Structure 1
């Protein structure tokens, strides 16, 4: 009896948080997930060497992690967490109380009595003045502890729980730095052992189909974007960068947000990728009937031109991403294994999702769930966990006449180009690129290339994610300003004045919140 092949693809990504003008990081998420999930996820597989998996690393995330590892990343919040209490200003103390409590409360605060006690006191603004030096120091230490890999978190400090010292803080910073330093070597080591495969994404996480043709899925989109050269540049740079960092040329691609099209498949193949992965909604949109009686068609690879395409099971992926944290770990693991075993023998099941964000909502960062899941798979002879390249080499692929355009989100691109705010952002990109091309050969080559790098950053998907009415957060103003910062830097580097209107926020529902752009770089 042929086993059911199971592939996990963990997508590791953070927006490019570096402010290129101030040369600092405006948000610490690459660092925080670095000390927790970016190291902890591959390290966990030391216990399960037969459970082969695919880790999809975005090059722009790796760049950020490298800066933190070298100690070159200027991050005000990280510095605040380790600053000696007797050197904190009144504003610093206020920011500690405001910024150094993570969410969600249930999994990252309530399990730690002292931290939760301080959080409850913080909820009453009238009591902020009552925070002693020791309270402030305990907040600093706990913030670092809860954002640390479950298996490398110092047990002596957790058991101590309170009354931390500056020496405790110094030792904790040293450990956090070591974890960040160990991330890239850990991936390389696990790849060399054959336990994991490393795939990648276009360099700055752009939506490739929109870059190639903004009207590929909707001829009524009012802004014309046709930048196939940039799409190729984002892909080829990613391939070269990852080969240099990890010693192996990536075989596979998770396009940003699972966004694909016919042209993307052809482009990825021409650059050198052997496989790409996306959502099951794209397979259905491509004309393959996935109704209940035909659901088995999802569980096999397909071939479009010279590249193999895998389609994820959305239900199984979303159960991990959004549901299983609400049930006991053993029960959730058993349920997932049961569901996987319902597909026909010899099938291939792809489970693909964020590799860091879900674990904040699980008790113990999801490690209990993952251990039970991987143990169950490793001990079940009817299941075999394989990387996607291993699946490609073992399974025949069915020809696909057409790969429909779309993303994991409703098999379309509405989040990134469906709202007037998205249209305005894309118009800024097109305008900046036109100016950049007109100035080629008229400005110093170094400046031109700096400007082009800023353009590639601005093409990333993360800015448009927050424009429009699809999503919102307390950080909308920061994302808005940072996007416009990149656009403004393009004009600065090519010696042109900042265009009129660029200082105005793109997102209109900021509720009075506005983050100013920095002055042009010197």
Structure 2
């Protein structure tokens, strides 16, 4: 009979109970269609480069090489993703490798070039290129320094957002030698104006949090929206993008529950059962699982490192009713049009990044510094909100002073600094103020002595 079947296994020796274990198996009857599963992994670290171009921490590199022992070698979580996909051939995934993470990888490679970290950077980039060429993965892009798009739009800084999107897209396309047309929205902080910005920058698809957004969705057809179908979002200007809503509960189950497991196989069985429940009601549905691709495996239990591979093996074994596909493949069949959708983030609103004395002071500082930079830029006839080319060899600087100042401002707009501001993470606050204060000092000095 279809469903979960529970068993108790007892092992006896000479009439004495040696072992008793409860287990269960899942029986699924294929329905002629397969559940389409979209796995989206977000790999991100904030800018650990100071304004002098020195690394304050090597975390962006260490997550390539030294998170844990796995299969008799020292490995980082980023390369773990590659090795899991290389080992299990029948699985596809989608990755946002945050542009500022790749920027830091290449900054290190350009400067040091011949050590284990540099070799890991080369292996990671070449591996992603190869899997992408083979159609095994899709690469997304993102605003380069991980700002919250909805907040920048609400602040009236739309041009900064567009510049950061253009910079991130151009940079990753140069690195991976391919066009990229999907956007990872940092913290899924969405505002409908983003539809026009995405359209203008050549981006066609994204993913949003189902728990926080689906209730505010209005469809042109009048139908009720579902988590398990792709949609088209149409702006007031007639621009369109395609969207999937992630299953937040299943995504969180992997991110917060499965990652703390001491039994990865048991966690995978639970995951399969959750997918089966969707399949039972939506045999041709699309389930999007989207979450951080690093923290669940780094911060979880020792056994969490095996979870990724076990998941992939299970999806490949269950291919008679599960098909893993990329985001692009999933949204291709979107027909229903969303005419109205609310503003928000995966956390609901934006208090996580804006509320609290320290955070409010940081936002006030950012407003002041940006105003000063705009005034200075106008005074010398420069471009407001430029999208300068990035050279990792001189990171985080650009080819001229004005572009460098704007690049520093974009770094200060990152969500990472305020995310940690009330958590006693002093370094993140100091990093924010280093860039802001340096912009102020340089502009004030230039205004006193233009020569």
TM-score category of the 2 structures, normalised to the smaller one: 0.7 to 0.9
Specify the SS of the correspondent of 1:24. Answer: coil
- Per-residue CA deviation, residues 192-239 of structure 1 (Å, 9 max, x unaligned), is 1111111021111000111011xxxxxxxxxxx211110111111111
1:361: how far off? 3.5
User: Is residue 2:342 matched to residue 1:302?
Assistant: no
Partner residue, 1:251: 181
Distance 1:464 1:8, change over 3 A: same
Taking the TM superposition and a 5 Å limit, the aligned residue runs for 1:179-328 are: 179-213=120-154, 225-287=155-217, 297-305=226-234, 306-324=240-258, 325-328=260-263
The match for 1:10 is 41
Question: C-alpha separation between the residues in 1 aligned to 2:300 and 2:376?
Answer: 51
- Indicate yes or no: 2:371 matched with 1:422: no
Change (3 A) 1:295 1:359: farther
CA distance in 2, matches of 1:322, 1:3: 27
Q: Is the 8 A contact 1:52 1:386 kept in 2?
A: yes
RMSD: 2.3
- Residues in 2 aligned to 1:438 and 1:176: alpha-carbon distance in whole angstroms: 42
CA 1:194–1:323 in structure 2 vs 1: closer, same or farther (change >3 Å)?
A: same
C-alpha separation in 1, matches of 2:402 and 2:116: 40
Q: 2:370 aligns with which of 428, 433, 439?
A: 433
**For the structure 1 residues 264 and 189, does the alpha-carbon distance in structure 2 shift closer, same or farther, using more than 3 Å as the test?**
same
> Are 1:458 and 2:381 an aligned pair?
no
Q: Distance in 2 between matches of 1:174 and 1:365?
A: 29
Shift of 1:174: 4.2
What is the CA-CA distance between 1:176 and the residue it aligns to?
4.2
In the TM superposition, residue 269 of structure 1 has moved relative to its aligned partner by 2.1
Structure 1 position 31 matched with structure 2 position 71: no
Q: Which moved more, 1:369-378 or 1:188-197?
A: 369-378
SS in 2 for 1:18: coil
SS of 1:304's partner is strand
Q: Please, which of 271, 290, 300 is the counterpart of residue 352 of structure 1?
A: 290
CA contact (8 A) 1:308 1:397 kept: no
SS of equivalent residue, structure 1 residue 492: helix
- Match of 1:27, SS state, is coil
Where do 5+ consecutive residues of structure 2 fail to align? 1-31, 66-75, 235-239, 383-399
Contact persistence 1:450–1:493 (CA under 8 A): no
8 Å contact 1:406–1:412 — kept in the other structure? Answer: yes
**Which residue of structure 2 lines up, in the alignment, with residue 378 of structure 1?**
316
| Superposition deviation, residue 364 in structure 1 | 5.3
The offset of 1:341, in angstroms, is 1.6
Q: Distance in 2 between matches of 1:186 and 1:318?
A: 28
Q: Which SS does the other structure have where 1:372 is aligned?
A: helix
Match of 1:490 in 2: 439
Name the TM-score, length of structure 2 as normaliser. Answer: 0.78
| Larger displacement relative to structure 2 (236-245 or 204-213) | 236-245
Deviations 1:14-57 (A, max 9, x none): 01111113x31222211111220222212320122221100111
Judging by fraction of residues, say which structure has more helix. Answer: 1
- The CA deviation at 1:247 is 1.4
* Cα distance in structure 2, aligned partners of 1:492 and 1:181: 38
CA change 1:367–1:420 in 2 (3 A) is: closer
Report the CA distance between 1:497 and its aligned residue: 8.7
The answer on whether the counterparts of 2:298 and 2:305 sit within 8 Å (CA) in structure 1 is no
How far did residue 326 of structure 1 move? 1.9
Contact residue 34 and residue 65 of structure 1 kept, 8 A: no
Query: What is the aligned partner in structure 2 of residue 55 from structure 1?
Result: 95
Once the two structures are superposed, the pairs formed by residues 36-115 of structure 1 within 5 Å of their partners are 36-72=76-112
Q: Measured at CA, do residues 16 and 52 of structure 1 come closer, stay the same or move farther in structure 2, by a change above 3 Å?
A: same
Does the residue aligned with 2:226 lie in a helix, a strand or coil? helix
Q: 3-state SS of the aligned residue for 2:284?
A: coil
Q: Distance in 2 between matches of 1:40 and 1:365?
A: 13
Distance in 1, matches of 2:125 and 2:356, equals: 38
Instruction: Give me the whole-angstrom Cα distance separating, in 1, the residues matched to 2:177 and 2:151.
Output: 31
Distance in structure 2 (CA, Å) of the matches to 1:497 and 1:176: 39
Which structure has the highest strand share of the two?
A: 2
Relative to 1, partners in 2 of residues 1:443 and 1:478: Cα closer, same or farther, differing over 3 Å?
farther
Measured after TM superposition, the shift of residue 265 of structure 1 is 2.3
What is the aligned partner in structure 1 of residue 331 from structure 2? 392
